Amino acid sequence: MSPIVKLIAQRIALGVLLLLAVSVLIFAGTQILPGDVAQSILGQSATPQALANLREELGLNDPAYIRYLRWLGGVLTGDLGTALSSRQDIAASIWPRLKNTLFLAFWAALVSVPLAIVLGLLAVRYRNGFVDKLISGLALASTSLPEFFVGYLLVFFFAVKLQWFPGISTVYDGMPFGQRMMAIALPATALTLVVLAHMMRMTRAAILNVMQSAYIETAELKGLRAFDIIRKHAFPNAIAPIVNVVMLNLAFLIVGVVVIEVIFVYPGMGQYLVDHVAKRDVPVVQAVGLIFAAVYIGLNMVADIAAILANPRLRHPK
């Protein structure tokens, strides 16, 4: 087996083991939450017999490891369980929400990733100059603001004052594309501002690190233009750390949308999770938590594999 295939196989196996460990933590975390699930479903006026019957029906009297294995077996077969609060199939309820979250994350990534790379290249081209200081200063200011504050600022100026976009991002199946884009304009902008600065700063740092290499000095001595050196020589060799930071931020766009979705009342996974945490709907919390973990681990695994493939020493072993 070649070294590159072996490393990729190891990363995939590590990702699967990590997801399994996270599933144990998610299950354990929901089990130690205060309160009684049966009591929260039936209310304070429920009789002891009714509570006992519901606990038996839900399997709450079984040992924890039995309940975990039952839940994990269901997940592996595509059965995420049934919501306690609505008695609806969780997989069927989650799918439309997941599509909405992916739609929002896709457009935020489509804007933020190319823009961050271009701004990073410009900052390197004009490093220590006015353009570099301006871009770095704005990036630092952006990363200093919490995402909920950015969201509320956008609502105040563009929804309340200027009334250009709706303050509540309501989307539904069959909604015209133009109206859907108008609805997600503010939450997508908030997500873009949150991740843009981090990606730009890491892109700048990665390229500047490569710029200290001997072959960059050789290219400069040949008389190549500064931007051509950055674009053709420095950027391709800095792609591995850039891909890593891009993947981490893409994971945040999907996993970290909870606050943004709550602010804009966007019907995505984050809003779905918050609604059911308030109801103490444990199966829904477990399912959403596991999906978020799978997305985060999966994108990090893709970043690791991309870094392996981008390493010339592994692609062309001696």
CATH number at residue 107: 1.10.3720.10
Determine the Cα–Cα distance for residues 36 and 30; give it in Å rounded to an integer: 11
Of 99-113, 207-221, 240-254, the range with the lowest mean pLDDT is 207-221
Yes or no: say if 208 and 305 are a contact pair by the CB < 8 Å rule: no
SS3 of 280, please? coil
Question: By residue range, what is the domain housing residue 115?
Answer: 98-280
Yes or no: say if 216 and 234 are a contact pair by the CB < 8 Å rule: yes
The pLDDT value recorded for residue 59 is 67
The total number of structural domains in the chain stands at 1
pTM of the entire structure? 0.79
SS3 of 35, please? coil
Is the CA virtual torsion 6, 12, 14, 17 positive or negative? negative
Res. 312: pLDDT tops 70: no
Instruction: Report if residue 151 sits inside a domain.
Output: yes
Res. 316: pLDDT tops 60: no
Tell which phi-psi region holds residue 87, choosing left (phi > 0), alpha (psi between -120 and 50) or beta.
left
Instruction: Report if residue 199 sits inside a domain.
Output: yes
Determine the Cα–Cα distance for residues 315 and 133; give it in Å rounded to an integer: 37
The mean pLDDT of 51-62, rounded to a whole number, is: 70
Give which of 153, 100, 107 is closest to 271, Cα–Cα: 100
The mean pLDDT of 267-271, rounded to a whole number, is: 85
Instruction: Report if residue 28 sits inside a domain.
Output: no
DSSP state of 211: T
The pLDDT value recorded for residue 44 is 65
Yes or no: say if 303 and 243 are a contact pair by the CB < 8 Å rule: yes
Instruction: Report if residue 56 sits inside a domain.
Output: no
The mean pLDDT of 121-136, rounded to a whole number, is: 81
Q: Dump pLDDT digits (tens) for 249-258.
A: 888 787 777 8
Instruction: Report if residue 231 sits inside a domain.
Output: yes
Instruction: Report if residue 4 sits inside a domain.
Output: no
pLDDT mean across residues, the chain: 80
The pLDDT value recorded for residue 40 is 64
CA angle 39, 40, 44 (to 5 degrees): 60
User: At a CB cut-off of 8 Å and minimum separation 6, what does 70 contact?
Assistant: 59, 62
Res. 184: pLDDT tops 80: yes
Share of the chain above pLDDT 90, in %: 1
285 compared with 58, residue with greater pLDDT: 285
The mean pLDDT of 278-283, rounded to a whole number, is: 77
The pLDDT value recorded for residue 17 is 92
Q: Dump pLDDT digits (tens) for 17-28.
A: 998 998 888 888
Yes or no: say if 251 and 295 are a contact pair by the CB < 8 Å rule: yes
Instruction: Report if residue 275 sits inside a domain.
Output: yes
Yes or no: say if 242 and 202 are a contact pair by the CB < 8 Å rule: yes
Of 14-18, 44-48, 210-214, the range with the lowest mean pLDDT is 44-48
Res. 104: pLDDT tops 60: yes
Determine the Cα–Cα distance for residues 177 and 265; give it in Å rounded to an integer: 19
Instruction: Report if residue 44 sits inside a domain.
Output: no
Share of the chain above pLDDT 70, in %: 90
The mean pLDDT of 288-299, rounded to a whole number, is: 87
